[in-house]
Amino acid sequence: MMTLSNTCSLEVLTVIVGNYRIGRVLAHGGMATVYRGIYRPTGMPVAIKVLTEESSVDEVLVHRMHQEARIQNILGRQHSGIVTCYEEIEVDGRPAMVLEYVPGRSVLDIVEDDGVFEPLEAIDVVLATLDALSHAHHHGIVHRDVKGENILVTPQGAVKVTDFGVARAEVGGRNSRVTESRDLVGTMVYMAPEQLTSPRTVDHRADLYAVGVTLYEMLTGDVPFDGEEGYPLMKRIELEAPPDPRQFVPDLHECLVEVVFKSLEKDPDERYFSAGEMDAALRRCRKILTGAEDYDGPRPGENRRGEKTWYWEPSEPRPLPEPRSFGYLVDLSGNLMPGQILLRRAGLKIGRDPDRCDLIVPDDEVAAEHVLLLPLETGQVLLVDLLTDGQTTLNGEPVARAALEPGDEFELVGRWKFCFQR
């Protein structure tokens, strides 16, 4: 039987794999190739993403594909702005995933083929992107590779976000900007400064930085910081102020420039607190640009499928944690964003000092460094009270040091409550 490895250089050649007929290549990458496919029983068009032979023997990359499939299977069915994964299959013994086929082009392709976006068009695309990311953030998912290439626009103007959980390792042309590092996941020119220095502990605000870079690129045709990937580019992203987009588009309105600069702040605390806050700022800007009383486009929460998207059906597995993840915390107080915080190998320090803590609690009653969650190689997770003065309780009892079990609840100063889960 002819295998896909024999057909990668061909534009059109049909191969039957189970219920799917696989045809022409839609996109090439160093890690995977995406094919146009047909679900034979119904004739429904699909996209089939197949790992390369080299990637299929890499446990980390295989894990990331499984993670991407499970995340997009759940979130894609809940939210129409996220590309759905229908199922995982094998093609020639290699892991593959069957995705919703999205006709149209990526934002990057539109910029390269047609030129920059008009401000109102850019705002509308970014609003739809923020709506999808808001839903993902609500479920504790940080995309970490938001960029124009992963934002698809259909001929009808619908926007779809794709590529969750997988760092591409493409080589050549514009995709040479994609990092191949195991820890430094994403595309460097779109990375927030903290993603470069502490890639395992970034939160949803790194996605908002990447949205700001994408908006900058949509308006000007270029990213704020570009060049050969490496230490010099990393230091520029960390230290240099982004060029004013009005150098390229002189008549760009001040309100839109403010949104871009705020989203590109070096300090995550100086950026928008959530996708919803950035959404509100862009809507105010759109109102100024159009003179309209209001904008009736999709708002966060309005573009979701079904009435009860807030819960997980029992048959649906939760998304896999990242490699080296030891579980996650659920914020029971409801005041932090996102509501689920992944606990990685490096551990998690909770307090209110942004320079020394991984999770910042904005409360004067909480100490600068309050508690430490310390994963051990044995798989256990220790809760260590850095104060040892009774301000931390575990399941209602004061604690100085204890091993956490799934479902355990701990509380800081009687008001900030978290639940440990695996």
Phi-psi region of 46 (alpha: psi -120 to 50; beta: other; left: phi over 0): beta
Q: Is the peptide bond before 242 cis (omega within 30 degrees of 0)?
A: no
CATH of the domain at 22: 3.30.200.20
Could you tell me which residues are beta bridge partners of residue 97? Answer: 49, 88
pLDDT at 148: 93
Q: 322 lies in a domain?
A: no
146 & 40 share domain: no
C-beta separation of 288 from 120 below 8 A? no
Q: Which of 58, 114, 131, 145 is catalytic?
A: 145
How far is 72 from 60, CA to CA, in rounded Å?
Answer: 18
91, 85 contact by CB (below 8 A): no
Is 280 in the same domain as 142?
yes
The secondary structure of 335-358 as a DSSP string is: -SSSSEEEEETT-EEEES-TTT-S
Query: Which tokens go with 35?
Result: 């094919």
CA angle 399, 353, 403 (to 5 degrees): 25
Q: Are residues 201 and 131 in the same domain?
A: yes
Tally of domains in the chain = 3
What is the distance between the alpha carbons of residues 318 and 304, in angstroms, rounded to a whole number?
A: 18
> Which of 42, 73, 100 corresponds to the end of one domain?
100
My answer on whether 113 and 86 are in the same domain is no
Assigned domain for 308 exists = no
Residue among 203, 171, 206 at smallest CA distance from 191: 206
- 221 token code pair: 């045709």
Active-site residue 145, yes or no? Answer: yes
Both structure tokens of 411? 């509380």
The β-bridge partners of 87 are: 98
- Looking at the fold, whether 388 and 409 belong to one and the same domain comes out as yes
313: in domain = no
Per-residue model confidence (pLDDT) at position 410? 94
Give me the tens of pLDDT residue by residue for the chain, a chain 422 residues long.
334 544 443 344 568 888 999 988 988 877 889 999 999 888 899 999 999 888 888 888 888 888 888 889 988 998 999 999 999 999 988 999 999 999 989 999 999 999 999 999 999 999 999 999 988 888 778 888 899 999 999 988 999 999 886 433 222 334 434 444 445 566 889 999 988 887 767 788 999 999 999 999 999 999 999 877 778 888 898 899 999 999 999 999 999 999 999 999 999 989 998 888 899 999 999 999 988 655 455 444 444 333 333 333 333 333 434 444 578 888 888 777 666 787 766 678 898 888 788 788 888 889 989 999 988 766 788 999 988 777 899 998 999 889 999 999 999 988 899 999 88
- The answer to the question of residue 298 being in a domain is no
Residues 64 and 127 grouped into a single domain: no
Residue with tokens 């910081």: 225
**Do the domain assignments include residue 295?**
no
Shared-domain flag, residues 111 and 218 = yes
| Domain region containing 64 | 15-100
Assigned token pair, 298: 């999709």
Residue 359's CATH number: 2.60.200.20
Q: Does 176 map to a domain?
A: no
State residue 94's pLDDT score.
Answer: 92
Residues 341 and 286 in one domain: no
Report the C-alpha gap between 303 and 298 in whole angstroms. 6
- The CATH number of residue 236's host domain is 1.10.510.10
Pairing assessment for the beta strands 85-91 and 94-100 based on DSSP bridges: antiparallel
Cβ-based neighbour number of residue 13 at 10 Å:
16
- The answer on 387 and 373 residing in a single domain is yes
Shared domain check, 241 and 116: yes
